[in-house]
Structure 1
């Protein structure tokens, strides 16, 4: 699952994990890190010149594991494209800009997007990055739909039958 900040990736992957599926949120410090940005830009104006990217060695190992059943991962990073061929399918979660802004303002899992400059950058990414994600996604879901419905659609897309 991918999408810009505030679309429900972490919530959806948490629900999948809680339902017994192998599911990992790559947008955490265990799987991602701040690095010097190649273009001097990044997701947070509060971290100038830094980009939040997946730790490639760890993600590569995770995706190579021969675990039981489907592995669901969620996240969005500038180096996502390096792993696209490792995913059987990509689901884009998307929400309206006002829903995204509301979620970022009230999120409790991390502080990204609460600062006005980060919120502005996130809304900019909705216009600039989301279309790029959409172009490579296999399925797009409305992240504002009820969580059980979103999780069920993701499982159905993956072809998992319980």
Structure 2
């Protein structure tokens, strides 16, 4: 969800030496026509599959939120939802300078609608939810622990 701290967490994970991929770009997404004539920006399943199946060493952290992401869930070791209260998300979006999404009234309305409608659907499909109102270091520590648990073995 926009404003939950995905990009900030990815930057810190990258600074800690992990491989990170933010899927909010054309490299990972494509526009598709929906049956009702509208369009949706979805993951390019071939590219995401190649990314996930081709990674061999260390931890890979992938961030993104697309309507077709659940089709790739079996390829992930863990699915983590970063969440924050809506007022925190909106304040972050207003303050950020690296991404213009959410600045217009229509985009803020979409964020509010997604928070109410999409976030519960996301929550139902995750292994772990992390509240990103915690300090950044604590959020990233939790992400690393979640990854370490997968690779620790019995």
TM-score (norm 2): 0.90
Does the CA contact (< 8 Å) of 1:104 and 1:119 recur in 2? Answer: no
In structure 2, relative to structure 1, the CA distance for the partners of 1:9 and 1:39 (3 Å cut) is farther
Structure with the larger helix share: 2
- Aligned residue pair count: 150
In structure 2, relative to structure 1, the CA distance for the partners of 1:67 and 1:93 (3 Å cut) is same
**Structure 1 stretches lacking a partner, 5+ long:** 41-48
Q: SS in structure 2 opposite 1:33?
A: strand
Q: Aligned equivalents of 2:48 and 2:35: distance in 1?
A: 20
1:21 alignment partner in structure 2: 18
Does the CA contact (< 8 Å) of 1:134 and 1:140 recur in 2? Answer: yes
1:61 alignment partner in structure 2: 50
TM-score (norm 1): 0.86
Q: SS in structure 1 opposite 2:91?
A: helix
**Structure 2 stretches lacking a partner, 5+ long:** none
- Report the more deviating stretch, 29-38 or 13-22: 29-38
Matched, 1:149 2:138: yes
Q: Aligned equivalents of 1:101 and 1:36: distance in 2?
A: 29
1:6 alignment partner in structure 2: 3
